[in-house]
Amino acid sequence: MDVQICEIYDSSYLNIISALFQDLDPPQLIDRLVPVDPQCQTRTSDAVKLILLDILSGRQALVHLERWAHEIDLSKLIRPGLKPSWFNDDALARHLDRLYEADIHKVISTCLIHIYRKEGLPLQAFHADTTDKTVYGAYESVSSEALRITHGYNRHHRWQKQIGFGLIGNEDGIPFYGDVHDGNLPDKTWNPEVLSRVHEQLKQAKIEDEWIYVADSAAMTKDTLAQTKAANAFLITRGPSSLRIVKAALAEADVQPDPAWSDSFSLAEKNGAA
């Protein structure tokens, strides 16, 4: 009985996701930006939708999609006439290659701008941050213009092979820009680059209003400040402790005779929380 309830729930959930995806209209955009190969039985938009459905269904790893495709109603969830065997690893890999060759950043930004405009989502403030993913294996001989897996210091300050991820979302946390970059790319270099790209996305959407870019202290550099001005934006960040003005402000605050400081408190219960 429990298994049947789970299957009904999963089916209903996927139907809702599919309907929302169809309503937002990304498949038509993707097919326009990534030309359909007449010799291929599937389209890139089919592969993208299947992968998204797979991720949002709760499956953790993007493996055995062909096997999973046998368990869902492809005709209803994606489009009529599709067969599960058409979504084997080779077919999906070819579609991912097509996405990259068509300029993956352009495809993603065009789809996101379309969704923002269609849903009337706010475009006044954006929050930016990066993280990394450690990988294991012999990647030294792999040469790719798309991505270089390089040694870098991860969030635990360990020198390991990794790739980097960057994400920018609006004030409601809805993604507006995302990328995967080299594992050794510092945030001080990433910030001005993505500021320029976000500015281009806003111009593409014919939005010339001033906007706000929120980032951590790595954004306090001459390049980022210059790019902020060029992008018609304002920057909100935290001054790094290495700046003399920050050191002076902290020292002055500490020597005030009766500072209006509250007692220290924690917003998290875990050990080591700020």
Nearest to 53 by CA among 35, 34, 36, 73: 73
Task: Note the pLDDT tens digit of each residue in 131-161.
Answer: 888 887 776 655 566 667 777 666 666 677 8
| pLDDT value of residue 8 | 39
| pLDDT value of residue 215 | 94
Strand ranges in the chain using DSSP code E only, listed in sequence order: 125-134, 150-153, 159-170, 175-182, 211-214, 233-236
Question: Which among 21-35, 128-142, 213-227, 231-245 has the top mean pLDDT?
Answer: 213-227
| 76/148: higher pLDDT | 76
Task: Note the pLDDT tens digit of each residue in 230-268.
Answer: 999 999 998 888 888 888 888 887 776 666 677 777 777
| HSE of 148, CA atoms in CB hemisphere, 13 A | 9
pLDDT at 19 over 80: no
The three state secondary structure string of 157-221 is CCEEEEEEEEEEEECCCCEEEEEEEECCCCHHHHHHHHHHHHHHHHHHCCCCCCEEEECCHHHCC
pLDDT at 127 over 90: yes
Domains and CATH numbers, the chain: 2-102 (no CATH), 123-236 (3.30.420)
CA torsion 221-227-228-229 (nearest 10°) is 110
| 256/89: higher pLDDT | 89
| 270/172: higher pLDDT | 172
Q: Is 234 helix (H, G, I), strand (E, B) or coil?
A: strand
CB 171 within 8 A of CB 124: yes
Q: Is 235 helix (H, G, I), strand (E, B) or coil?
A: strand
Estimate to the nearest angstrom the gap between the alpha carbon of 88 and the chain centroid: 25
CA distances from 198 to 32, 33, 194, 257 (A): 22, 19, 6, 45
